[in-house]
């Protein structure tokens, strides 16, 4: 029986493993994962019932210097999320030096006197004795309620982390029903799965200038028909996304379809189109149209 809840924001620099950690904690793919920075664009909620506690995790975009209106929005999401939770989870790499993004987030913690847990990720990439210097640097910088080394990729240290997070939960009825792992609608999850494949298969600036919109979902004879449009910013990018004889678009569809079928628990017929919306990342109306609103 759930008797306590806790709301945790997961913050850190790009590519530190925030989405990977949240997926690992929730035991389900809530957020897309890519080795490219700025993969997460908006605030994503994951839900975990652990013992008597319900933990709500808010994954956020990586803190970066914005270059577009969309980038401005992503940074605002981080700032709003940090101050709107019970506890902040600051995720860092195992480096015994506090970088500029980490210092900016620590300054925000100090400004609002926020309770925080430090999570040192990617410990599978360093010798364990090197972690002592990392822990010492951050202990000096801020009075964290706990410092937990983990490897989200290898599921190492997650039990310890959950135990520490449970201490941060408050007496409260559960906020989400049993079995719910995210507040994202199916259409948004499907769009994000497709965008993940774009990030994984396309190079340089092309995938960052893409957005995915689900135009239609309709069930026919036990098969879910999904029609999605991939928007890009330039005509030259459209050709790259489609590929020679449509090869790249076919690859993206083939990679996305199994995950969509797992999500919907149904056979899926996936149709993809590519359209151009020039410089949409600097157009506030288009940013809102693709679901990136200040309300998250």
Give the CATH number for residue 48: 3.40.50.300
At residue 294, the pLDDT reads 45
Residues of the chain with pLDDT under 70: 32, 34-43, 61-84, 205, 207, 290-296
Percent of the chain with pLDDT over 90: 51
Helix axes 186-201, 247-264, angle to 10 degrees: 140
Instruction: Show the domain range for 95.
Output: 4-171
Helix segments in the chain, DSSP class H: 18-26, 69-82, 100-112, 131-141, 158-166, 186-201, 235-242, 247-264, 284-289
Residue 178 domain-assigned (yes or no): no
Whether pTM > 0.95 for this model: the answer is: no
Q: Is residue 295 part of a domain?
A: no
Number of domains observed in the structure of the chain: 2
**Are 68 and 114 members of one domain?**
yes
Angle between helices 247-264 and 235-242 in degrees, nearest 10: 70
| The predicted structure's pLDDT at residue 295 | 42
Percent of the chain scored above 70 by pLDDT? 84
Predicted confidence (pLDDT) per residue in 181-196, tens digit = 887 788 888 998 998 8
The pLDDT score that the predictor gives to residue 31 is 74
Same domain, 239 and 131: no
Q: What residues contact residue 69 under an 8 Å CB cut-off, 6+ apart? A: 281, 282, 283, 284, 287
Domain membership flag for residue 251: yes
Q: What is the DSSP letter of 211?
A: E
**Are residues 130 and 197 both part of a single domain?**
no
**152 & 218 share domain:** no
266 within domain boundaries: yes
CB neighbour list of residue 30: distance below 8 Å, 6 or more residues apart: 19, 22, 23, 44, 45, 46, 57, 59, 181, 182, 184
Supply the Cα-derived Rg of the chain in whole angstroms. 20
Two tokens, residue 216: 């239609």
111 falls within a domain: yes
* pLDDT of the residue at 64: 46
pLDDT at residue 171, as a whole number: 93
Q: How high is the pLDDT of residue 259?
A: 93
Q: Pick the last residue of a domain from 171, 206, 223.
A: 171
């Amino acid at each position: 029986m759930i008797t306590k809840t806790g709301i945790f924001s997961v913050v850190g620099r790009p590519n530190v493993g925030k989405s990977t950690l949240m997926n690992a904690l929730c035991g389900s793919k809530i957020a897309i994962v890519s080795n490219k920075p700025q993969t997460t664009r908006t605030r994503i909620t994951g839900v975990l019932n652990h013992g008597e506690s319900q933990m709500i995790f808010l994954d956020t975009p990586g803190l970066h210097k914005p270059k577009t209106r969309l980038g401005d929005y992503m940074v605002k999401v981080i700032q709003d999320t940090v101050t709107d939770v019970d506890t902040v989870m600051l995720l860092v790499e195992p480096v015994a030096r506090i970088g500029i993004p980490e210092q900016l987030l620590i300054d925000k913690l100090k400004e609002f006197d926020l309770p925080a847990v430090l999570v040192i990720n990617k410990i599978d990439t360093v010798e364990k004795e090197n972690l002592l210097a990392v822990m010492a640097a951050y202990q000096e910088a801020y009075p964290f309620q706990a410092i937990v080394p983990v490897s989200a990729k290898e599921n190492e240290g997650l039990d310890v982390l959950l135990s520490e997070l449970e201490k941060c939960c408050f007496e409260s009825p559960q906020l989400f029903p049993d079995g719910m792992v995210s507040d994202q609608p199916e259409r948004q999850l499907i769009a994000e799965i497709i965008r993940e494949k774009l990030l994984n298969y396309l190079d340089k600036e092309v995938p960052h200038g893409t957005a995915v919109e689900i135009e239609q979902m309709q069930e026919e004879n036990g098969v879910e028909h999904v029609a999605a449009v991939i928007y890009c910013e330039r005509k030259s990018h459209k050709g790259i996304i489609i590929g020679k004889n449509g090869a790249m678009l076919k690859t993206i569809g083939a990679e996305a379809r199994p995950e969509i079928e797992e999500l919907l628990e149904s056979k899926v017929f996936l149709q993809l189109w590519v359209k151009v919306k020039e410089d949409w990342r600097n157009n506030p109306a288009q940013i809102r149209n693709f679901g990136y609103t200040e309300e998250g």
